Amino acid sequence: MFVSGSLHSISGQISEASARMHQHNQPQSSPEAKNAAQEQRSQATEVDNAARNALLKPRYEELLRTKRDLIGQLNEAEAKSSAEQTRLERSAADCAQTLAELRAILARLESCRIPELSDSDFHPALNEALRTFENGRIELIRATALPSEHTAGTAVQTAAKMDLADIPAGTLFKKGFAFFLPLILTILFSAFFLALSFIIAWKVAL
């Protein structure tokens, strides 16, 4: 038993010595090694970011172009819609004014007294009714026809001014000369024949 116990003690010491030697032979990580590992990881991350940016750059540029184009189209559409809204509001105001005038004319004509043949004041009442309805006819024409005619006349005048502004001075001179040439020739021939008539009459008188 003593021998067995001694062998067991020696075996334990050998195991402990072997474990200490194994721990001693393992390399210990130094601060330089840790810094190098961190630098490698940082470089790898930068490479990954650069590759990702290169891959996503076309999509980013496409996003910027889409934003610019879409905002431009929206601004243009907003300006057109605003102008159209202003035109419609002005047209609605004109229509409301015309409608009010028509209703006033209608109410005045409906309330106009039409005399009976047996009325004692038939003649003056008839004249008054005729005058009222004639005024209503004139007001109706003024309320419905004059705005459109005025608008059309304004448009024609504006177009004529733009056309004249676009024509060169030389072309205007040629057109004016061609327009007044018959009148000038007529005046010259008339003066010539008039002078010839005076000469002939003077010679005959002699």
pLDDT (tens digit, 9 = 90+) per residue, 55-76?
Answer: 888 888 999 999 999 999 999 9
The residue ranking higher by pLDDT, 116 or 170, is 116
Q: How far apart are CA 64 and CA 59, in angstroms?
A: 9
Q: Supply the pTM of this predicted model.
A: 0.40
Quick one: average pLDDT of 112-128?
Answer: 90
Q: Which residues contact 129 (CB under 8 A, 6 or more apart)?
A: 112, 113, 114, 115
Helix (H, G, I), strand (E, B) or coil at 41: helix
Q: Report the alpha-carbon distance of residue 139 to residue 132 in Å, rounded.
A: 10
pLDDT-based confidence at 182, cuts 50/70/90? confident
Buried b (16+ CB within 10 A) or exposed e, 98-134: eeeeeeebeeebeebeebeeeeeeeeebeeeeeebee
